[in-house]
Amino acid sequence: MDFDWTDDHLSLRRGAVEFASERLVEGVTERDREAVFPRELWDACAEFGLQGIIVPTEWGGAGQDLLSAVATLEGTGYGARDNGLVFSVASHVASCEGPLSEFGTEAQKQEWLPRLADGSAIGATGVTEPDSGSNALALGTTAVESRGDWVLDGSKTFVTNAPVADLFVIYARTGGSGFAGITCFLIPREADGLTVGPSIEKMGLRTSPMSQVFLENCRVPASSVVGGVGSGAMVFNQTMDIERLLVMAPAIGVMERLLERCVAHARQRTAGSVPIGKHQSISHRIADMELKLEAARLLLYRAAWHRMRRGTATRESALAKLAVSEAYVECCRNAVQIFGGYGYMVEYELERELRDALATTLYVGTSEIQRNLIAGLRGLG
């Protein structure tokens, strides 16, 4: 059992830290306030190689394995301050490029992967619906065969990147109510019958755009199906193994950065005549931050390792997602508390970190859903 990163992994992480700390730091407060998606920084991320990190080299990507992608995105989270943009990139990679790379046809890959990898096209995924909530398989959106095509009707909500997306990965019901009744489709933005709603204003991750997507008599060719008719639930579940890990990897970097910042503050800030870090109420918070960070980190790495070697990691990725998201929120709350009144001030940027962190217990399956999944795999619930 080896707990060390390889030299290649460390190099990827260092490179991501350097890039993100140089390019993804300035102007975040203003963009957050105005809820602005920075397309020029999206393009900078693509030039660095983030969007193409898992795309095979034959389609213009870097062809990195899952652990390499985790290391890179962790480094990005450490160096960046724009958590919304980083989330948009990770979502694009995991939920759009992931299923297309693994289950797409050669024609689908040829048409879309090079553009997704170089950032010239932005991907979004529609799973959640207004009436289904966290039950991802209780889809009301339908797809019906018609003269060799498929016609989709329904709506999706909380679709990350939708306001700026060029390609949508849409899950719809093509059969009965069971597992085999769902199919995954690729639908370009310009498809007749697809409408993107206005941007949804959010509490956090405000530089990551989100909206509803409406499908009304949306006709797409049979070649739009990903992975075969009726295989959508399988595509979704396999994608979720990866998505849980890639969208949470930046949080590990953020937590490490906040831990270091809190340690420095606890050494420098005095109360009376001694640094506040001499008080157990502060030092114990910092100890707890490190404990939760390292436990979450190991669960995330193990899940990525398991997925690479076993081909599936449903239990492991659910444990990692639950641990990282809840540790992340607690870390940010502790940081605000350690900084006291200053932590509540916008200029210290900790209140934004907390607002951004809160979303992690909701997206890619809520904490409650992760617990249901973990318990269900033990035959409970």
**Active site amino acids:** 243
> Which residue has 């399956």 as its token pair?
365
Name the token pair of 38: 């920075």
Q: Which residues contact 65 (CB under 8 A, 6 or more apart)?
A: 308
In the structure encoding, which two tokens stand for residue 175, read together? 């059969």
Three-class SS state of 193:
coil
The first and second tokens of residue 267, run together, are 């050494």
Are 245 and 304 in contact by the 8 Å Cβ rule? The answer is yes
How far apart, in whole angstroms, are the C-alpha atoms of residue 284 and residue 281? 6
Q: Are 132 and 140 in contact (CB under 8 A)?
A: yes
What's 76-137 look like in SS3? HHHHCCCHHHHHHHHHHHHHHHHHHHHHCCHHHHHHHHHHHHCCCCCEEEECCCCCCCCCCC
Can you tell me the distance from the alpha carbon of 356 to that of 119, in angstroms, rounded to the nearest whole number? 24
Report the alpha-carbon distance of residue 297 to residue 322 in Å, rounded: 12
Region of 63 please: left (phi>0), alpha (psi -120 to 50) or beta.
Answer: left
